[in-house]
Structure 1
Amino acid sequence: MSVTPSDAALLRLLRSLLPQELEGLGGRAIGPARAAAWQADLSLGAEGLALDSLELVACASAVNEFFRLHESGVEDYLLAERRLDAWCRIIRAGIEDGASGITFRTSGSSGTPRRCAHAHVTLAAEVAHWAQVFRDRRRIIQLIPAHHIYGYLFTILLPDALGVEVVDGRALSPGRLARLLQGDDLLVGFPGGWLPLLRSLDRLPQGIRATSSTAPLPAATHQALREGGAAQVVEVYGSSETAGLAARTDPQAPFTLLPRWRPGHAGDAASVIEVATGGEMALPDRCEWLGGAALRLLGRKDDAVQVGGINVYPARIAAQLAAHPLVAEAAVRLDAMLPEPRLKAFVTLRAPRNRAGDRVALEAWCRDHLSAAERPVSIELGDHLPRNALGKLADWAACGAQPPAH
């Protein structure tokens, strides 16, 4: 397959990448519905997006970084042009003149965002695999941004490989989306978005298939999708650094490596080896190999958990809570029993005289100082942190800790 995305795919990518860049500058919030209406001849100047000089430079820089246009020397042309279709032509020329690949950025949830470069040929080879898996699909319904690696693979490259239309479902009301869905569609979404979607729709059309990535898919969400009508749900395991690594269609089953990879080390040193080059890539999770290309994940190496597709670090958040003047000790865990897992906290107070008021104060502090993904959705108060018989911190729901104090 061609490594150069079609004009339609490049326009779809710009509709995703540019709004993020403009929002990051602090001046604009352009939602998916508005961006989806951008036509190829949309001006970047006064009669269209009305980018000022700083916004234009920032957007051009983002496009240059993403497509590595500096490698072919065409990046300066972005500042000379003022239409989206002209930028698409420049991107295409850059790829055809030797730009080596795509640069994605990590979310930055574990520190400064990192750049992750992937060769065009490598991404194309992965998409050739997915094109075989989903060769019966006639349309893709996009429920994720296109400029992250999962979105790029499944809403930019895969539609071109299959020769199918893409509909940005984020730009539609639930009613319009329900009327539009068909049984031969492929829904491309993420764990935190499935239950809100199912609540908005009576039922998915018979035969529809779905992919989910960016975070672990809770078994309850997988079951809800199947009960809601999905014929198959493919959970994709990967990262910005690795692209796709493995997949499964049963939440109780191990993952199976994609053809690009073979097993490496297990346990804390878990890794995979690229078949074509022999290069070894560390996995973000501990794992065990079960024979052949099957692996079972055993949790993050860095003790991160994922909330809404974002890595968060319970120990760090517990330390922040413990530094609060009201708090003596704190423990933070992922509440995996929720339909969409969120953090929960258990706190002991320095002077527990007004527990109800102290809880309100701590909840307000969390809203002011923690991001949405980091904020515990429940704070339990007690005299001692819950521990097991060996004295190790334990899950308060699992070890009979006292209920929340009121």
Structure 2
Amino acid sequence: MKSFSLSQDQISRIVGAAVADELSRRFNRHIDFLTAASWNGAVLLGQGGASLSPDEKKYCGQRVAQFFGLNDEYLNHPDAIRLDDWSALIKQGVVERLERFSFKPAARNAEDSAFIHNADEIFQDAAAAANILYGRRRLLSFVAPHSLLGLELSILTPNLLGIETIDARGMTPESLSKNLLFGDVLVATPTLWRYMMQERLKAPDNTLAVSFGEPMTPDLAIEMRNSGFGVLRELYGSTETGLIAWRDTPGDAFVLFDHWGRDGDGLKRTQPDGTSREVQSMDILTWVGPSSFRLAGRRDGAVQIGAVNVFPEAVAQTLEEHHHIESCRVLVGRRSDGASRLIAHIVLKNSALPNEKTAREIDAWCKSNLRQQERPQIYNFESTPAA
């Protein structure tokens, strides 16, 4: 679609974020937040840059090509030595026709499956977001652009509004406080908002805060308003469904965007060509009006840790593969700042002692076998089988 206009620099940002995610997802290579944020077009694919092995280069290239709806082998070019080489090929491949995008959910599953969306629906979501962000002067984003909502909010929406977009992932709260201007909008997840509040981020008048990915708590919203963000927008959607609804205050009901409607207890999406289809949300919805609802829990048992959907039962099953663990159950607790955390209740085999050394060994094992958000923060050793 020619309605999409992505610069090569924007494509490079997407490529860098997708490569970092695929290295973590497929190869358990943890790329820290600041490093991933710095991966622009000049970064080498090999030594001195991303340091991709032949296998890593192959699968990362496939992931990037799939993201833009291209053939798996589209980036299989031996002459590509920098991320910009891939970005130039991508730009060439989509400049005339961009029909679909492919996104992997943050929660890793056994199939590691991706969800494909028509490009015109992604553009429709971005236009809806632009309507509630109209009048902003700049958009700054703490969110990686390779996710569905990250792409829509940090790249496509500011493109539609014709405003400058700034990748804020490499900024400290101190430098961000110095760079925020009257009329800006800052996009982040509640986990990142908590961090910025703890670091005493201050915003000038008429600055808008956008949040998505996990529930916004009333206490956090109050902190954000006290720090200078006069207007808050919380968005609701998912990799599976796209962008669905929004609200201004955690206590309010979510309001559907115009291209969504209620269909009994479910949802109906009107597509850009005028046709409609039924869509099942990832959460149970309690309707409070013809176009407004409250969330009543996930359908699939997932919990949100750092804006990533995590499945406690799957985490427990993985922990039970450890040679010291007889049985395990994983529960969700709350930290003092309102953030969720995983607590593992473990029954050890007779050969293991319930001490700090064992806990450290299990924690080290988790770093190799679980993603960062899936790792328990507390280990409780119990004497009775975990029920």
TM-score, normalising length from structure 1?
A: 0.78
The residue type equivalent to 2:373 in the other structure is: A
RMSD (Å) for aligned C-alpha atoms: 3.8
Cα offsets for 1:153-209 (capped at 9, x unmatched)? 111211211222222222123322221112322111112111111222352222211
Give the match's secondary structure for 2:332. Answer: strand
The residue type equivalent to 2:292 in the other structure is: A
Q: How many residues align?
A: 377
The residue type equivalent to 1:335 in the other structure is: G
The residue type equivalent to 2:211 in the other structure is: S
21-30 vs 97-106, which moves further: 21-30
Cross-structure match for 1:115 = 114
163-172 vs 55-64, which moves further: 55-64
For the 8 Å contact 1:107–1:113, the answer to whether it is kept is: no
Give the match's secondary structure for 1:166. Answer: strand
For the 8 Å contact 1:110–1:311, the answer to whether it is kept is: no
Q: Does 1:6 align with 2:16?
A: no
d(CA) in 2 for partners of 1:176, 1:297: 36
Q: How does 1:54-93 map to 2 (within 5 A)?
A: 54-70=55-71, 75=74, 78-93=77-92
The residue type equivalent to 1:187 in the other structure is: L
Deviation of residue 85 (structure 1)?
4.5
d(CA) in 1 for partners of 2:365, 2:80: 42
In structure 1, the gaps of 5 or more residues are 352-356, 386-392, 394-406
Cross-structure match for 1:310 = 308
d(CA) in 1 for partners of 2:28, 2:45: 15
Deviation of residue 111 (structure 1)?
3.5
For the 8 Å contact 1:143–1:168, the answer to whether it is kept is: yes
Cross-structure match for 2:239 = 240
For the 8 Å contact 1:182–1:205, the answer to whether it is kept is: yes
Q: Does 1:367 align with 2:363?
A: yes
Q: How does 1:34-183 map to 2 (within 5 A)?
A: 40=41, 53-70=54-71, 75=74, 78-183=77-182
Give the match's secondary structure for 2:267. Answer: strand
Deviation of residue 107 (structure 1)?
2.5
Deviation of residue 321 (structure 1)?
7.5
Cross-structure match for 2:268 = 273
Give the match's secondary structure for 2:16. Answer: helix
Cross-structure match for 2:296 = 298
Deviation of residue 116 (structure 1)?
0.7
More RCO (CA 8 Å, sep 6+): 2
Which among 340, 354, 357 is matched to residue 358 of structure 1?
A: 354
Give the match's secondary structure for 2:229. Answer: coil
Cross-structure match for 1:333 = 331
d(CA) in 1 for partners of 2:219, 2:130: 28
Cα offsets for 1:21-42 (capped at 9, x unmatched)? 4556759765555565566566
Change (3 A) 1:258 1:141: same
d(CA) in 1 for partners of 2:98, 2:305: 35
The residue type equivalent to 2:165 in the other structure is: V
Cα offsets for 1:87-128 (capped at 9, x unmatched)? 434323322443411101123444432211111111111111
162-171 vs 54-63, which moves further: 54-63
Deviation of residue 273 (structure 1)?
0.9
d(CA) in 2 for partners of 1:287, 1:78: 47
Cα offsets for 1:299-325 (capped at 9, x unmatched)? 011222111122233445567789999
The residue type equivalent to 2:70 in the other structure is: L
Percent identical among aligned pairs is 26
Deviation of residue 224 (structure 1)?
1.8
Give the match's secondary structure for 1:373. Answer: helix
For the 8 Å contact 1:6–1:160, the answer to whether it is kept is: no
Cα offsets for 1:197-225 (capped at 9, x unmatched)? 12223522222112111222223222221
230-239 vs 101-110, which moves further: 101-110
d(CA) in 2 for partners of 1:110, 1:191: 23
In structure 2, the gaps of 5 or more residues are none
Cα offsets for 1:263-291 (capped at 9, x unmatched)? 1343xxxx311123321111111112111
Cross-structure match for 1:400 = none
Deviation of residue 298 (structure 1)?
0.7
For the 8 Å contact 1:321–1:330, the answer to whether it is kept is: yes
Deviation of residue 53 (structure 1)?
4.8
Deviation of residue 129 (structure 1)?
1.6
TM-score, normalising length from structure 2?
A: 0.81
d(CA) in 2 for partners of 1:163, 1:26: 38
Deviation of residue 255 (structure 1)?
0.8
Give the match's secondary structure for 2:234. Answer: strand
The residue type equivalent to 2:354 in the other structure is: D
d(CA) in 2 for partners of 1:31, 1:95: 30
Deviation of residue 293 (structure 1)?
0.8
Give the match's secondary structure for 1:106. Answer: coil
Deviation of residue 46 (structure 1)?
7.5
For the 8 Å contact 1:307–1:373, the answer to whether it is kept is: yes
